[in-house]
Every structure is written in structure tokens, then in C-alpha cells.
Amino acid sequence: MMSSKSLNSKISESSIVVAAVEQISSDLGGEAVILNLKSGVYHGLNEVGSRIWNLIQQPKEVKDIKQTLLEEYGVESEVCMRDILALLEELKAVELVKVKNETVA
């Protein structure tokens, strides 16, 4: 069980995220539907969430996700980062992403 004081508890710009293995997903007209195979629960993502999901099929740094979205969508940098982190925290909470932080003691 992870401690709430764990260094890896928060996702940051330098975190590396990747989609969990124990899921299957499908694109439905620009939106994604993901089935968590462990819980049996479906999760839906809108167009931007779906784009982030596609980007993290391979391990990717959060700052690289942000850069891609800034190039593709007309959004402010701070808003973009806040929304990315919120989505990734939600996906982490339901075990749909794995997170690796580069904070080495």
C-alpha cells in the first residue's frame, strides 16, 4: 500500500505516463471509450481526452503531451497543463495509467 507521503503521489510536468496494460479502448467518432479489465468499468473521454489517451499509448513525459496539445488546440499553457494533470490524476485513480516520476533521492 502506498503512503500518502510518497514522492510519486503527484503527477508533474516531468512525470512519465503510459496507459495501463489491463485495459482495452476504442475510438468512437473522435471520443474514446476505455474498459478497465480489472474493474470491469467503462470510462469515456471527450475529444481532447481521447487525444491525450492516444499520446500515452507509449511512455510520454507530461510536458511533451502539453506541447503537442498547445500546437494542435488554441489553448493557454496554464489551462492546458491544469486540464492534462486533472485528467491524468483521474486516470491514475482508476488505474488506467502508470506514472513514473523522475525524482530520485
- Looking at the predicted structure, is the pLDDT value of residue 1 above 50? no
Give residue 73's pLDDT: 94
18-72 per-position pLDDT tens digit: 999 999 999 999 899 999 999 999 999 999 999 999 999 999 999 999 999 999 9
Q: Count CB atoms within 10 A of the CB of residue 91.
A: 26
Question: What residues pair up with 100 in beta bridges, in sequence order?
Answer: 16
Residue 95 CA to residue 93 CA, distance in Å, equals 5
CA pair distance 47, 41, nearest whole angstrom? 20
99 touches 92 (CB < 8 A): yes
Fold of 14-100: Outer Surface Protein A; domain 3 (3.90.930)
How do residues 64-103 score in pLDDT, each as one tens digit? 999 999 999 989 999 999 999 999 999 999 999 999 986 5
Domain ranges of the chain: 14-100
Once rounded to an integer, what is the mean pLDDT over residues 3-17? 72
State the Cα–Cα distance between residues 62 and 87, nearest whole angstrom. Answer: 11
